[in-house]
Homo-oligomer: A and B are copies of this chain.
């Protein structure tokens, strides 16, 4: 095979992530590489930490990006907090709750599952019932924004209930961070992880995490060593800790961290509240268009994530063929269903830099065109006016 420089096609990314990356972030990525112990880099790390604390709304000193994708951020939370034989309650309402169960078990813990319908928020009453039966559980894990369904749960209330039952909390904020409120300190989340490639609109490959003092106390008082050397917070903090003196742990992904710094700076410039409002307004516009076309959301209105819109694929429509045509004819990526929802839904992301009026116009226009051409029986000519009414409001 003759291999040449790879020149990727230029796509519009409206799937479940990665999302469109801001040009400033791509530019930051390509700046000259410097050493991971260079004083200039240490200064950048301090700024990055401060920007992350703002994004997560926390004062936690232990706030930093894991040098690997979101699933490694998830694993960082579990390997540090779960000890062998610990009982962990996992609230599942989609694919990622299942991954949490895997993590608990691989740490030698036992997972008690609180099963919720996919596409719905986590039912606090179910958690309460489970906590009554399993009074010896010491951790409750939950997904704030289920990327597989587009449902969000009331993390503040769930955490409060967990604390009342003497449990620490681990929260997945991969898809929520930057798109909808994530208030780590106000909600008293003990450990949280996110991803760079969703509403932060950075390239994939980094996973911001934050641990509060309660969580760190459990890490410090572990009987068993953390099973992962790479993810052991006791070691990682020697590098990401405060002060000028940093101990080498692993070689940090220098350029990826430049990019995250820039992405978080863009978020800070816009302001969190403005970013949340933008995500909501664009969601409402997209929704108007999709519903006018006749497509149905799978999540009820109160639980919907503005940044991830899961809609049912119309009966008789070839899922893969539609996504292929969107990609090939319009360079537009939307997401397929995942897990139990594979083949049943499309997931349309409006995340970070991808949450823009021009993207919504493209998405609705392309969907209307392709579905109409394929005889899917959608209503023509009504989506655009419905959507524009919201955008102009």
Contacts and interface: CB of A to CB of B under 8 A. Distances in A.
B204 A50 contact: no
Contact of A254 (B28, B105, B203, B333): B203
A45 B120 CA distance: 36
Contact of A11 (B38, B255, B265, B327): B38
Interface stretch (A135-143, A221-229, A287-295, A380-388): A221-229
Interface of A: 1, 3-11, 13, 15, 17-18, 20-21, 24, 26-36, 38-41, 44, 46-47, 50-51, 67-72, 74-75, 99, 102-103, 105-107, 195, 197, 203-205, 225-230, 248-256, 258, 261-262, 265, 268, 327, 333, 338
Given A11-B38, A34-B11, A44 B252 contact: no
A8 B32 contact: yes
A106 B251 contact: no
B6 A203 contact: no
A33, A50, A103, A249 interface centre (most CB from chain B within 10 Å): A33
B230 A75 contact: yes
Contacts of A262: 5-6
A253 B69 contact: yes
Contacts of A99: 229
A69 B203 contact: no
Contacts of A72: 67-68, 72, 230, 250
Where chain A touches its partner, the secondary structure class is loop
Contacts of A67: 68-69, 72, 205
Given A11-B38, A35-B15, A227 B229 contact: no
B3 A47 contact: yes
Given A3-B47, A13-B35, 6 more contacts: A8-B41, A8-B44, A18-B33, A67-B205, A107-B227, A228-B228
A41, A230, A258 interface centre (most CB from chain B within 10 Å): A230
Contact of A227 (B35, B47, B106): B106
A266 B18 CA distance: 27
A259 to B, nearest CB: 8
B28 A6 contact: yes
23 contacts: A6-B44, A6-B262, A8-B40, A15-B35, A18-B34, A26-B33, A33-B204, A34-B333, A38-B333, A67-B68, A67-B205, A68-B72, A71-B250, A72-B230, A74-B229, A75-B230, A99-B229, A102-B229, A203-B254, A204-B252, A204-B253, A205-B254, A205-B255
A250 B70 contact: yes
A103 to B, nearest CB: 6
Nearest to A10: B32
A15 to B, nearest CB: 6
What are the 6 A-B residue pairs with the smallest beta carbon separation, nearest first?
A: A205-B253, A30-B30, A68-B68, A71-B250, A204-B251, A26-B30
